[in-house]
């Protein structure tokens, strides 16, 4: 194990995740970077993100991440869940580490 523990962001573009699955499923912790295509124009940020991050990420969970400052568009934190997307928007999401399940 190396002493340098910096994670590389995962890029999801056009439904594909680099180094991940083609279904665009969300990773367990770390950063996810997405780029909005032309079909995203006019969609709400929370709805678009929930669709891109897969079935394990509900829209209410995405809204909570936005309010916590974990979502950035163009490098700037966003706190408005209803923000409208534009084609080419680059969205980064700091995904929290999953909490261990209690038996």
CATH number of 10-19+28-94: 3.10.290.10
| Tens-place pLDDT, residues 34-73 | 999 999 999 999 999 999 988 888 999 999 999 999 999 9
Order of all β-strands in the sheet with 10-13: 16-17, 10-13, 30-35, 90-95, 71-73, 76-77
Token couple for 80 = 């408005």
pTM tops 0.85, yes or no: no
User: Residue ranges of the domains in the chain?
Assistant: 10-19+28-94
Whether pLDDT at 22 is above 50: no
Cα separation, 12 vs 87, in Å, equals 14
Nearest C-alpha neighbor of 11 from the set 2, 30, 3: 30
């Amino acid at each position: 194990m190396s002493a340098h523990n910096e994670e590389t962001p995962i890029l999801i573009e056009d439904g594909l995740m680099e180094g991940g699955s083609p279904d665009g499923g969300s990773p367990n912790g770390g950063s996810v970077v997405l780029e909005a295509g032309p079909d995203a124009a006019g969609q709400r940020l929370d709805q678009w993100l929930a669709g891109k991050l897969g079935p394990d990420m509900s829209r209410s969970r995405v809204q909570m991440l936005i309010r916590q400052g974990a979502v950035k568009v163009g490098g700037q934190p966003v706190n408005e869940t209803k923000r409208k997307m534009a084609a080419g928007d680059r969205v980064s999401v700091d995904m929290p580490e999953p909490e261990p399940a209690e038996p």
